[in-house]
Structure 1
């Protein structure tokens, strides 16, 4: 149980509602910032403004999946209030306070480093990424069905990258009857693709591998679907880019060429916010319990 642990949940989307429910079950004391327009009332949680919080009493801060922007603003879809997490605010928290975010950026890294506060990037954890690959795959399948006029079965699909998401996407499209080839750089990934019964290729040869594809699904967070690559694709090819913003595709050239290219990061929160929220909530609750246990052992 998280009894007497004071947690500030700042902003977020529908996924954060599952986090709130889970932490209330564990008897944590919650301050909700950026939720003033939320109709749902949570017993055991109080809606507050940022300037009303006594941060000297905060044990953990939970940010949305995307953390802050480059100016420190936190997305708050349940409020019109502009919420900015600053170095000054963090410096008021106890030394043991931990900041949780899905991903980070230079700004968030900077203020946590400057205040010597621990920052946990949830989406860098293997467990979160693997669980999240499930709704990501379902959302990708949905997008391909919506934006093509052919069946997935018997289509030619290229998946770029064999990370945690790429592996799940490749396996699922193959299970639906697609002819799947997977591009990777590491020799061990090439071996794994072969073991999975799929067709491997080196990403260095990408331009040669896209000449007959119907769908290109990118998971690599760097520009690899370049103008040169897109110029070799059939006109009907659909590109679905699952990499974090700005993606790994030259979207300007794709539009110029008339090829449909969709940037689709954060699919779990779009297609299955309840499940995506439960994934984050379960991992967060475990991490907070471990944090509490460590504090009790040190006291």
Structure 2
């Protein structure tokens, strides 16, 4: 890998197990890595431990976990137990802040602190590559909660974007009978061409009780109480949509339906593969989004 990041200081704040697998690529690209909340990183990784304020003041780009921060400003770290909290005292005009998903709280904080927020989860290359470990993680999670095999089962995939395409293909390859629910006629035609049964998302309630496995990829409320009541009690619904997902979880609990919001699956189930994917795309994303003045 060429030294495309030579002369740049990148501060990494927290993160899951993917961190130790993408970090070598940043080092090989010539970056100086400042580490916040990463005290248990493997010792062979050449990083400089700093506190949060020092890391922000000294870096060209700040890298948050794919999950970003929660509503209280907290950033999770697999490698440290000390709390990491982002707040309005961390001003740095024009600082590039990269994260997988930027929730409203992070965007508001970024506006106050003068940060330039970049949602790398929206990057096409990363999203397509990441769809593989995401799909595998979703199926593994479903299998853990199920009482039957995927092979021979009936599975519903809601949404036919990047993750939906990969997930439907994986389920079909495992021997499931796959139905794809989507809104756009083009997506439904694409699903049909791939050998799946297409269904308009507005008709999803019809026949919902026939599915053993259900997967949602749409980041909008599609599994309302009226829809969930049509779902069997022994079925498993895995929600891999970003943010709050697409399921009314209070209704699911009230109805006794198994519905699981499953964010950050690549980091939980396949951190090495998912980390290498990040290492492949991060140098390009950083260079493309770095403000010239920094």
Q: TM-score, normalised by structure 1?
A: 0.89
Counterpart position of 2:232: 234
**Aligned equivalent of 2:42, options 40, 43, 47:** 40
Contact 2:209/2:230 (8 A) holds in 1:
yes
Bigger radius of gyration among the two: 1
Counterparts of 1:5-44 in structure 2, within 5 Å, are 5-36=8-39, 38=40, 40-42=42-44, 44=46
Could you say what secondary structure the match of 2:91 adopts?
helix
**Aligned equivalent of 1:49, options 39, 48, 51:** 51
Q: Distance in 2 between matches of 1:251 and 1:268?
A: 23
Q: Distance in 1 between matches of 2:157 and 2:270?
A: 22
Contact 1:90/1:111 (8 A) holds in 2:
no
Distance 1:125 1:291, change over 3 A: closer
Q: Distance in 1 between matches of 2:158 and 2:282?
A: 30
Distance 1:231 1:276, change over 3 A: same
Distance 1:176 1:45, change over 3 A: same
Distance 1:26 1:177, change over 3 A: same
Counterpart position of 1:264: 262
**Alpha-carbon offset, residue 39 of structure 1:** 5.3
Greater alpha carbon shift after TM alignment, 258-267 vs 24-33: 258-267
Q: Distance in 1 between matches of 2:266 and 2:13?
A: 20
State the superposition RMSD in angstroms: 2.2
Q: Distance in 2 between matches of 1:90 and 1:282?
A: 30
Task: Please tell me whether residue 248 in structure 1 is matched to residue 246 in structure 2.
Answer: yes
Structure 1, unaligned runs of 5 or more: none
Q: Distance in 1 between matches of 2:56 and 2:248?
A: 43
Distance 1:256 1:137, change over 3 A: same
Q: Which has the higher helix share?
A: 1
**Alpha-carbon offset, residue 46 of structure 1:** 1.0
Q: What per-residue deviation string (whole Å, max 9, x for no partner) do you get for residues 120-160 of structure 1?
A: 10111121111111011111222232222222222111111
Q: Distance in 2 between matches of 1:65 and 1:148?
A: 28
Could you say what secondary structure the match of 2:283 adopts?
helix
Distance 1:194 1:84, change over 3 A: same
Task: Please tell me whether residue 84 in structure 1 is matched to residue 85 in structure 2.
Answer: yes
**Alpha-carbon offset, residue 59 of structure 1:** 0.7
**Alpha-carbon offset, residue 284 of structure 1:** 1.0
Task: Say how many residue pairs are matched.
Answer: 291
Q: Distance in 1 between matches of 2:30 and 2:138?
A: 37
Distance 1:18 1:80, change over 3 A: same
Task: Please tell me whether residue 158 in structure 1 is matched to residue 166 in structure 2.
Answer: no
Q: Distance in 2 between matches of 1:239 and 1:20?
A: 34
Q: What per-residue deviation string (whole Å, max 9, x for no partner) do you get for residues 194-253 of structure 1?
A: 221211111111111303111111111222112222222233211111123432223333
